[in-house]
Amino acid sequence: MKKWMTAVLGVMFAVGMSGLAVAGSIDSSGAPSGGSGMYTLQNLYDYLTSGAALTVQSGFQEPTSGPGSMMKTTREIGDDVKSLFDQCDIIAADVKSGKKFFCMVTGSWGIQTGALVVPPTPTPTMTPTPTATSTPTFACGTTFTDSRDNKEYPTVLISGQCWIAKNLDYNNGGCLGKNMTDESASACSYYPGGPYGSEGLLYQWNALAGACPSGWHIPTDAEWCTLETALKDSGQSCDCNRNDVNDCASAGDKLRVGGTTGFEWPLSGIWQVTGGYGWRGTYGTQWMGTQGGEGAYDRILSSASGVDRNARTLMRGYSARCVKN
């Protein structure tokens, strides 16, 4: 009787162990109840080695007499899992401090904590954008300095137009000293004995291209007409298209040296092809930037109260003014 009982217990133990290898549970000496929820060892092995999804078995799986063709023994599973885990070569110093990883450290498998201290990312140093230095706003009525030669010009505002308040005195393109009898020379010169104070240079018309400082220009015929019209006396005519006619009284008196506008137009004379220099103290001249007639338009100031307008040959030597753009 004692031998028979030993044999029965041996069979039951073998079946139980076989069930453990396949079903992964020894809930009882008999079949587990339905819905207890189990993973098979094969399923756990596949999860560890290939990432296969874990599948809960809701019912008991009857073990076979031995491992099937797609199954492994407990020993085989253990050896394979050990081989898999042995590939872990991470140590705590490789993992950011506070982060968890599963590996063997000092011979112990389990959840380990990283010890790598990652220095904080440095805050980028912001280079301040240099503040642009703004050019001071020019105020008409103040003195303007020509940066090309550092000569100074007073300025005056008349009827919304800003003018330099003395004749231009800039050696444009080296015009000073060129032959005044050669129209293509773009020449300029001082009246003999000059320079004379605010009288400036006498320019051939071609010598005035780019003669004004940046931001200024030789006035057009229309811009000068605006000036004359603003200054003429009430009831007086001012024909902008007149030809060799003195008009716009008493704009001339207001524009001349000592006039009421501050324009300070001097009687600085003329250079002409026939006769050369002359009429200083009798006539004051101004070139316009507008061509017409036999050359370009001009304005001439005399003892009369108005201003003369005509078109003259470009070779004449006249004074010039600049008006703000």
List the chain domain ranges: 1-25+34-86, 88-117, 144-324
How far apart, in whole angstroms, are the C-alpha atoms of residue 80 and residue 94? 25
| pLDDT at 80 (0 to 100) | 72
Residue 303 DSSP SS3 = coil
Contact at 8 Å (CB) between 172 and 188? yes
pLDDT of residue 25: 42
pLDDT at 2: 36
Distance between CA 267 and CA 284 in Å, rounded? 4
Strand, helix or coil for residue 44: helix
Q: 50-84, pLDDT tens digit by residue? A: 767 777 766 655 555 555 555 667 777 777 766 76
For residue 33, the tally of other CB atoms under 10 A from its CB is: 10
Query: What six digits make up the tokens of 136?
Result: 């001071």
Q: Quote the CA–CA distance of 223 and 219 in Å, as a whole number.
A: 6
> Tens digit of pLDDT per residue, the chain (325 long)?
333 333 333 333 333 334 433 444 444 445 445 445 666 767 766 776 676 777 776 665 555 555 555 566 777 777 776 676 677 777 777 777 878 776 765 556 667 777 777 777 777 777 777 666 666 689 999 999 999 999 999 999 999 999 999 999 999 999 999 999 998 899 999 999 999 999 999 999 999 999 999 999 999 999 999 999 999 999 999 999 999 999 999 999 999 999 999 999 999 999 999 889 999 999 999 999 999 999 999 999 999 999 999 999 999 999 999 999 9
Q: What pLDDT shows up at residue 121?
A: 78
Helix then strand count (H, E) for the chain reads 5, 16
- What per-residue confidence (pLDDT) applies to 126? 73
Give Cβ neighbours of residue 94 (< 8 Å, ≥ 6 apart): 114, 116
> Can you give the pLDDT at residue 36?
55
For 155, half-sphere exposure in the C-beta direction (CA atoms, 13 angstrom radius) is 20
H helices present in the chain, as ranges? 2-23, 41-50, 74-85, 221-231, 251-255
pLDDT of 71 reads 64
pLDDT at 120: 79
Q: What is the pLDDT of residue 312?
A: 94
Pairs from 136-141 (Cβ < 8 Å, separation ≥ 24): 138/215, 138/324, 140/324
| Predicted structure pTM score | 0.60
Task: Could you list the beta-strand ranges (E) of 114-204.
Answer: 144-146, 151-153, 155-158, 161-164, 188-189, 202-203
Residue 318 DSSP symbol: B
Q: Which two tokens stand for residue 265?
A: 């137009």
pLDDT value of residue 11: 33
Structure tokens of 258?
Answer: 């000592």
